[in-house]
Chains A and B, each alone.
Chain A
Amino acid sequence: KNQVEQSPQSLIILEGKNCTLQCNYTVSPFSNLRWYKQDTGRGPVSLTIMTFSENTKSNGRYTATLDADTKQSSLHITASQLSDSASYICVVSGLNDYKLSFGAGTTVTVRA
């Protein structure tokens, strides 16, 4: 069973609107959680990284939240742009473990 589950699988939003992506994980003990953006045909690019003590982290129009108690994270995209169309992958690291647990990603499509 995958240790990182993301929802929704995909979503379509209009340019300028906001959206929120969800990530639930079971990785334990937990070290950190990253959100990556992957454009079609490209490798993932890190957006944010949070350790267990951090509740929120922003990177421009992207804001990630983390609740380490419930093992949930969200990624909020504000005022979406066409260039935000991509797959967003939640990635969790266990403590003292180089192996990353990847979610299947949420595909976001922004339409004009």
Chain B
Amino acid sequence: DTGVSQDPRHKITKRGQNVTFRCDPISEHNRLYWYRQTLGQGPEFLTYFQNEAQLEKSRLLSDRFSAERPKGSFSTLEIQRTEQGDSAMYLCASSLGFTETQYFGPGTRLLVL
């Protein structure tokens, strides 16, 4: 296992389009997190899954954002009707237990034109 992977690594889209990102966590990790990071800032929590259950969503996650983890393995994050303010790095992390170290993926950098 090579760690957390994310796809795509980069995405450029026009305002108003929908985009979907994928995260594959470390295989035995049952907890999966999504974060958003803007330039010069630390990551901000978006949402969290334990297995397939989405247990919490940040108020940062507007109704244009939806995340799924249908089989408790990989996860997708979809942004509908993208806005320029959505431009950021979207990071996925996974952990074995909620107090364990979160391992981050390389991120998907989104640019909305």
Contacts and interface: CB of A to CB of B under 8 A. Distances in A.
B48 interface: yes
A93 B104 contact: no
A39 B104 CA distance: 12
Interface residues of B, number: 25
A97 B93 CA distance: 16
Interface in A75-107: 89, 91, 93, 96-100, 102-105
Given A43-B91, A98-B31, A98-B48, A104 B101 contact: no
Given A31-B99, A34-B101, A43-B4, A100 B106 contact: no
Given A93-B99, A98-B98, A105 B42 contact: yes
Nearest to B103: A46
Interface string B40-75: 111111001000000000000000000000000000
Interface string A25-57: 000000110101000011111100100000000
B107 interface: yes
Contacts of B89: 41
A103 B42 contact: yes
Interface of B: 4, 6, 31, 33, 40-45, 48, 89, 91, 93, 95, 98-99, 101-107, 109
Interface of A: 4, 31-32, 34, 36, 41-46, 49, 89, 91, 93, 96-100, 102-105
